[in-house]
Amino acid sequence: MRLLSIIPGAIGDFVLTLPAVAWLQSHIHPDRLELWVARGNLPLARSLGYVDAAEALQDTGIESYPPGQGCLRRMRAFDRIVSWWGSGNPEFVDQVRAIHPRADFLRALPRESDLHMIEFRRAQLNRIFGSTPGFLPTPRVHWTEDEDRSAESFWATRPGNPRVAIHPGASGKPKRWPAQQFAGVARSLSRDPNCRLLLLEGPLDGEAVKEVRGGLAEDSVRWETVRIENLSRLAAVLSRCRLYIGNDSGITHLAAALGVRTIALFLETDPRVWAPRGPRVQLLRRPGVEQVLSIIRP
């Protein structure tokens, strides 16, 4: 059986959907599982050991309206489709279901609710399949052997421990903890002469990172900026960190899923819905610098 799962959205949306995808693979046992995802999430999708293929949504033709015949032919080649894309477009849904009777279209995001995103995904699968025995509520992230070796090489040239990653970015300014407070935490951590700090910068994080760097300019902080270009490569690097500090962002969800000790800073969004899931997550609401430091150094 050939299964297609379509997952739009940013990094955090994708990471929080991984438990649902893992359940589909382990309980449906498709002969082939293919994912269509946002381009930035493609490295993570392709590194999942249980996924046979992954493609960027932008390359499938599904973003065109109406979708082209080539896209529809590709969708028809699967025995089943579970899509978090298109549920709000009845014409698109009807067009696909006219050629594919086993296509399920699910809401990408919950309406107003305090249900966590992962539990929302599970509830969606329950409506389709009746129940979801064995559903694991924590995302699991993978990377390749080449990326693992690359991470080893990365850290081999950067002595120092503890290794701490800080990501000051987020998808919207209201979600960002003030840059000067990130800088204050970094300055305090730098009092340990062995500490190695990574300041993570994604494609939309330039302003936030620049502000943090400005707060560090006159300090002898042992840090460097690392640009986020490949998420599975970043995962391999982050997995070797002792601590991660960040806003409600996709990278925070990634760090939490890796099992890295994660301090997640929430300002405007609801952690009941969007809290990162992982074994070592600590969540703070609108904290000050001293509160963050007290968590790091109890």
Q: Tell whether 181 and 213 lie within a shared domain.
A: yes
- Per-residue pLDDT, 219: 59
pTM of the model: 0.95
If one counts every other C-beta atom within 10 angstroms of the C-beta of residue 98, the result is 10
Confidence band of 276 (pLDDT split at 50, 70, 90): very high
- Domain shared by 125 and 170, yes or no: no
CATH at 123:
3.40.50.2000
78 part of a folded domain: yes
pLDDT of residue 1: 95
Kindly indicate the confidence band of residue 220, based on its pLDDT and cuts at 50, 70 and 90: low
- Which residues constitute the domain of residue 276? 145-296
Segment among 57-61, 193-197, 264-268 with least mean pLDDT: 193-197
225 in the same domain as 158: yes
Calpha distance 78→96 (Å, rounded): 12
The answer to whether residues 124 and 155 belong to one domain is no
Judge if 162 and 37 occupy the same domain. Answer: no
Q: 71 and 106 share a domain?
A: yes
134 lies in a domain? no
pLDDT digits 0-9 by tens, 124-179: 999 999 999 999 999 999 999 999 999 999 999 998 899 999 999 999 899 999 99
Residues 259 and 149 in one domain: yes
Shared domain check, 291 and 150: yes
Residue 13's pLDDT is what?
98
Can you tell me the mean pLDDT for 6-33?
98
Cβ(246)–Cβ(274) under 8 Å? no
- CA-based Rg of the chain, rounded to a whole angstrom? 20
Same domain, 284 and 179: yes
Residue where a domain stops, chosen among 74, 100, 129: 129
240 within a domain of the structure (yes/no): yes
Mean pLDDT of 259-263: 98
Residue at 115 is within a domain:
yes
| Residue 71: inside a domain | yes
pLDDT at 204 over 80: yes
Contact between 232 and 43 (Cβ < 8 Å): yes
Segment 77-99 shows an average pLDDT of 94
Q: Assess contact for 249 and 175: CB atoms under 8 A.
A: yes
124 and 89 both lie in a single domain: yes
Across 181-192, average pLDDT: 91
Domain assignment present for 138:
no
Number of domains observed in the structure of the chain: 2
Q: Are residues 125 and 18 in the same domain?
A: yes
Q: Which of 103, 143, 125, 140 is nearest to 27 (CA)?
A: 125
Which of 75, 100, 129 terminates a domain? The answer is 129
pLDDT of residue 217: 66
Query: Strands, DSSP E only, in 170-296?
Result: 196-201, 223-227, 243-247, 261-266, 281-285
243 beta partners: 164, 261
pLDDT at 298: 62
- Residue 136 in any domain: the answer is no
Tokens of 277: 């899931």
Q: Is residue 107 part of a domain?
A: yes
Q: Which residues on adjacent β-strands are paired with residue 2?
A: 32
What is the pLDDT at residue 157?
93
Last residue of some domain: 77, 102, 129? 129
Cβ proximity of 71 and 83 under 8 Å:
no
| Cβ atoms < 10 Å from Cβ of 120 | 19
Q: What does the pLDDT average to over 40-55?
A: 97
Rounded-to-integer distance, Cα 286 and Cα 174, Å? 11
